[in-house]
Amino acid sequence: MRGRVLLLLLGSVVAAGLSFGKPMDKGRLTRSDICGECHRDIFDMWQRSAHAKAMEDPVFQDAFRDTRSKEGEAVSRVCLGCHAPAVEFAKDAELEKKITWEGIGCDICHSLTAVRMEGTGPKLVLEPGPVKRGPIRDAVSTGHDVAYSELHTQSLVCAGCHEFANSDGTAIMTTYSEWKGSESAKQGKTCQLCHMGRTKANVVDPKVKRVPGQEVNLHEMPGGHSLDQLHKALTVSFQPERKGDELLLDVRIANRGAGHAVPTGMPGRRVFLDLTVRSSDGRSFEERKVYGKSFADASGKTITRDSAYFAKGVKLETDSRLRPDEQRVERFRFPIPTSATAFVSVKLRYEHSPTGGPENRTSITFLSEDRTLPPSGAAKP
Ligand code: HEC
Ligand code: HEC
Ligand code: HEC
Ligand code: HEC
Ligand code: HEC
């Protein structure tokens, strides 16, 4: 008799998932390596993604430590809402569980049932458990229950973490709303179309189930750290001209390939247009345009650290980013005599400095074009 009570007690402890509990039980998030046992190809792609590194990434960790020491515990918890959302569900305040360290794992996205657009930014509504939600209408799985989800085919599924206003209501990250107002959105081009293109691979290991078609959505989701994506984003054209002793240079720069502003996301990201003009008679000029968004902190100082955007009293200073579909003409004039040869060089560079210093700086030159103009006097009769 006593034995049975004990067993019952033990049984309810297990059912409550306090110490053991099976993966995919109701209310329980499952680790991505368990999903990877069957969804091997997708798991490999995901492991290379920024999502998989959102928490363990040393660049994030530096900024996170910076936040804890300079802004305090409450602000640092805001970071985890997007970089390690499992913390809340796995009740891992001490940041000790493996699932916390996998950043944005499979089960975060595939347990999403809704994204609510609310005051200070969207909220993720998660129902972890036996049902995995995705874009396949006729999926049948022995591994877990499945449900077709329209949400997963829409941009809204990404909005939960790619849109944010702080507790004062100041918009900090606006990728989703930038997209909503874009030509891409009107044409039905979703985030998934540009960041999760279809690629040849197995939805599940063929040993588990043969799925015809053999195509999946790219789970690497490349962004601003990818040279390929940066190439797609902007186009640049220029035709230097001479007018008397002046060199006229109109640079047309257009955001054609990104369905949102360039740069987008965390404010500290910037794109530089760098111009160098030299002449055969020894003159040399440098010009620069910066595309970015800057905020000031409560004391009015320009913010340079990612950790500081989330504090109270933050205000937008400037926004010179290239809006989706925008074409801008930057005009430059240089005093170069017609008798001299001119060498023109135009470069585009993406830069991000999450902690404000050089230690974690990303810098990618993604366009570089040179032009030489012979003396124009020589060509005249
Ligand atoms: C035991 C093997 C197995 C495991 C483990 C497994 N899956 Fe699956 N999963 C499948 C099979 C089989 C399918 C069905 C594929 C089909 O019919 O096209 C599937 C389908 C899916 C789908 C598509 C659902 C739809 O309707 O679009 C998603 C999403 C999914 N799994 C997510 C996950 C996640 C997240 C995990 C880990 C928490 C996981 N799976 C673990 C075998 C598995
Ligand atoms: C649960 C939160 C969350 C969801 C949902 C989410 N993301 Fe992210 N995403 C992040 C975080 C956090 C990072 C930054 C990780 C890092 O580098 O530290 C990121 C990074 C990215 C990047 C890479 C940016 C770069 O700098 O290279 C892209 C692209 C991206 N996400 C696209 C998407 C798309 C598309 C969706 C929807 C299908 C989506 N994300 C859904 C949180 C999320
Ligand atoms: C940032 C969110 C996000 C993460 C993380 C994520 N997925 Fe997905 N996944 C999606 C979205 C969105 C789709 C649907 C894309 C579409 O149809 O446009 C999808 C599609 C799928 C599908 C259906 C087949 C396909 O590729 O269309 C499976 C199966 C799947 N994911 C499994 C996984 C597994 C396993 C992991 C972890 C290794 C994972 N996903 C991680 C967002 C995510
Ligand atoms: C028409 C194609 C297109 C669509 C639609 C699109 N993107 Fe992008 N995205 C790009 C390109 C190209 C880049 C690279 C340029 C850049 O970093 O700004 C990019 C960059 C990013 C980055 C990296 C920012 C950085 O500077 O590191 C994130 C995050 C991102 N996109 C998220 C999203 C989300 C979320 C959506 C949907 C709301 C979306 N994208 C819709 C093409 C697109
Ligand atoms: C609303 C969701 C959200 C919150 C809250 C958030 N982040 Fe992020 N974070 C992102 C996304 C999305 C990216 C990547 C792409 C982008 O810029 O849109 C990112 C990128 C970063 C990066 C750049 C990583 C790299 O490798 O370039 C750092 C550093 C970072 N976040 C630090 C923080 C810190 C520190 C906090 C808290 C003070 C925080 N984030 C809060 C969503 C969020």
Work out the end-to-end distance of the chain between its first and last CA atoms, rounded to an integer number of angstroms: 115
Query: Which protein residue has the closest C-alpha to ligand 1 atom 43?
Result: 143
* CA 185 – ligand 1 centroid, Å: 29
Distance CA 14, CA 18 (A): 6
Tell which atom from ligand 1 comes closest to the C-alpha of 105. 35
Instruction: Give, to the nearest 10 degrees, the angle between helix 58-70 and helix 73-83.
Output: 150
pLDDT score of 155:
97
Helices (H), 213-316: 227-233
Higher pLDDT, 214 or 2: 214
pLDDT score of 351:
94
Tell me the pLDDT tens digit for each residue of 67-103.
999 999 988 999 999 999 999 888 999 999 999 999 9
30 CB under 6 A from ligand 1?
yes
pTM of the model: 0.93
pLDDT score of 330:
98
11, two tokens: 């049984």
Higher pLDDT, 175 or 18: 175
Asked if pLDDT for residue 331 goes beyond 90, the answer is yes
User: DSSP labels for 92-115?
Assistant: -TT--SHHHHTSS-HHHHHTEEEE
Helices (H), the chain: 2-15, 32-36, 40-47, 58-70, 73-83, 86-89, 98-101, 106-110, 156-159, 175-180, 183-186, 191-195, 227-233, 376-379
Q: Where do the CATH 2.60.40.10 domains begin and end in the chain?
A: 227-379
Higher pLDDT, 328 or 213: 328
* CA 380 – ligand 2 centroid, Å: 57
pLDDT band (50, 70, 90) for residue 265: very high
* CATH pick for 227-379 out of 3.10.450.50, 3.40.50.300, 1.10.10.10, 2.60.40.10: 2.60.40.10
* CA 267 – ligand 5 centroid, Å: 10
pLDDT score of 240:
93
Query: Which protein residue has the closest C-alpha to ligand 5 atom 31?
Result: 60
User: DSSP labels for 322-356?
Assistant: B-TT-EEEEEEEEE--TTS-EEEEEEEEEEE-TTS
Q: Mean pLDDT throughout 288-297?
A: 97
* CA 284 – ligand 2 centroid, Å: 42
pLDDT score of 222:
83
* CA 174 – ligand 4 centroid, Å: 11
Q: Mean pLDDT throughout 255-276?
A: 96
Query: Which protein residue has the closest C-alpha to ligand 1 atom 34?
Result: 35
| Bond before 324 cis per omega within 30 degrees | no
